[in-house]
Structure 1
Amino acid sequence: MLLPDGAEPFAAGRDADVYALDEQWVLRRSRNGYAVRDEADFMRHVAKYGYPVPAVREVHGPDMVIERLTGPTLAEATIAGDLSPTDLGVLHADLHRRLHAIPAPSGTPGLVVVHGDLHPENVIATPTGPIVIDWRNAEEGTAEFDIAMTAVIFAQVALDPAWADLSPLLHETLAAYLANSIDPTPGLTAALDARSNNITLSAAEKALLPAQEALIREHLRR
């Protein structure tokens, strides 16, 4: 899909860039050329059940044209003081509860739609409510795995020295999130394994995984 000459992304994630097309639509381009058809299909599937995702207009190879959203991420809103750490944890638990009520596209018993990367940077606080973005890791799986994955991500930021100023906030968020979710223990080992094999994580980030597991299990015992 062609972009205007000299177009520059106005937002970027670990593996994708986002370009403005107009006031209503943006183009999200996978940086490594990864085809995004499956990602778009999951977004369209959960949208049919009323789950808050950006509308998908079209897909071409690594390019997806999606609804342009207005508002800060939940991470930005919390840091700005517009959302308390406890409310952030409760909100994430609710987003997962709503998502896991949606049947897997295949209809396989016991499987649900798994986002796989649901954290505060991947939720936009729009004027109409929170909308979940970045479905790159979406798949069919178990709710416990999906909840464990988010817990691992919260624990990573809580323990990472590079984010020491956010550590108290994330400890409170993690506690609220786990207290309002189903027990993620059955999916925790798989989530930790998935993070250890994530090529976008640095060696320093992966080195924190044992401490992240310990922190999560400590909260679960309370």
Structure 2
Amino acid sequence: MEIGELVGTGRTADVFALDDGRVLRRYRDGADGTGELAVMAHLAEHGYPVPAVWPGEAANELVMERLSGVTMRQALTDGTIAPERAGEMSAELLRRLHTVPARLSANPGDRVLHLDFHPENVMLTAEGPIVIDWATTAEGPPGLDSAMTALILAQAAVTMPAVAAVARAVLTPLVRHLGSIDETHLAAARARRAANPTLSREEVDRLDDAMALIRSAGTSTPRRR
């Protein structure tokens, strides 16, 4: 396995091309990817669209199929997908994910959660959308995942001028197709984001503005769902 060029980089990992047409995802902080691999295999067994994945040579490495396509964010920037459709598709993918039973939890209400679902983590391929980057995956109530996605989009809208308009445009149809966002789950999502060490000071400081943006759209409710 010969490691080639750097083809992608995120907040915590780098992705390198391999000589066999696959890619290597390597965590810069040495994080163990074993759990992520197990979750992706579990999702694939239940028919959820994730890349094929294999163990790497080290615990902080995963080998994955190289997908052909663009991220949803790129498609939004290029205008090849409308924000309305992107919001609808994101809601569809979240609802579909939340039909997959938990792998470990004995709580019948728990499901597999992504917890970092946003347009950069959806690849649009000829075979359909495929969800990538399962580093933050956990098990729990589906409403937390929905709240986290809404909050990530709202944060982008208030802290990233280059994509603010698009983020706002996607947020509205997303929450309309998901239904209202529960206040308890929204508060839990805020706490998780505030504790995320990869966020900038501005991103943390603007969390309340992001929460207000979600509420101003009438997307929250005091009742648990």
Normalised TM-score (structure 2): 0.92
Residues 181, 219 of structure 2: 8 Å contact kept = no
- 1:44 is aligned to 41
Deviation of the 1:221 alpha carbon: 5.1
- Which deviations, in whole Å up to 9, do the C-alpha atoms of 1:183-215 show, x marking residues without a partner? 321310010000000000010111110011111
SS at match of 1:116: coil
- 1:70 is aligned to 68
Residues 124, 133 of structure 1: 8 Å contact kept = yes
Deviation of the 1:24 alpha carbon: 2.9
Deviation of the 1:115 alpha carbon: 0.3
Query: How far, CA to CA, are the matches of 1:165 and 1:109 in structure 2?
Result: 41
Provide structure 2 residue ranges, at least 5 long, that are not aligned to the other structure.
221-225
Residues 180, 219 of structure 2: 8 Å contact kept = no
- 1:95 is aligned to 93
- 1:176 is aligned to 173
- Which is richer in strand? 2
- 1:216 is aligned to 214
State yes or no: 1:26 paired with 2:23.
Answer: yes
- 1:146 is aligned to 145
Query: How far, CA to CA, are the matches of 2:30 and 2:163 in structure 1?
Result: 34
SS at match of 1:192: helix
Residues 178, 219 of structure 1: 8 Å contact kept = no
Residues 122, 132 of structure 2: 8 Å contact kept = yes
- Which deviations, in whole Å up to 9, do the C-alpha atoms of 1:164-193 show, x marking residues without a partner? 243222212101000000432131001000
Q: Which runs of structure 1 show a deviation greater than 6 angstroms over 4 or more consecutive aligned residues? A: none
Q: What's the C-alpha RMSD, in Å, of the aligned pairs?
A: 1.5
Provide structure 1 residue ranges, at least 5 long, that are not aligned to the other structure.
none
Whichever residue aligns with residue 117 of structure 1, its letter is D
Q: How many residues align structurally?
A: 217
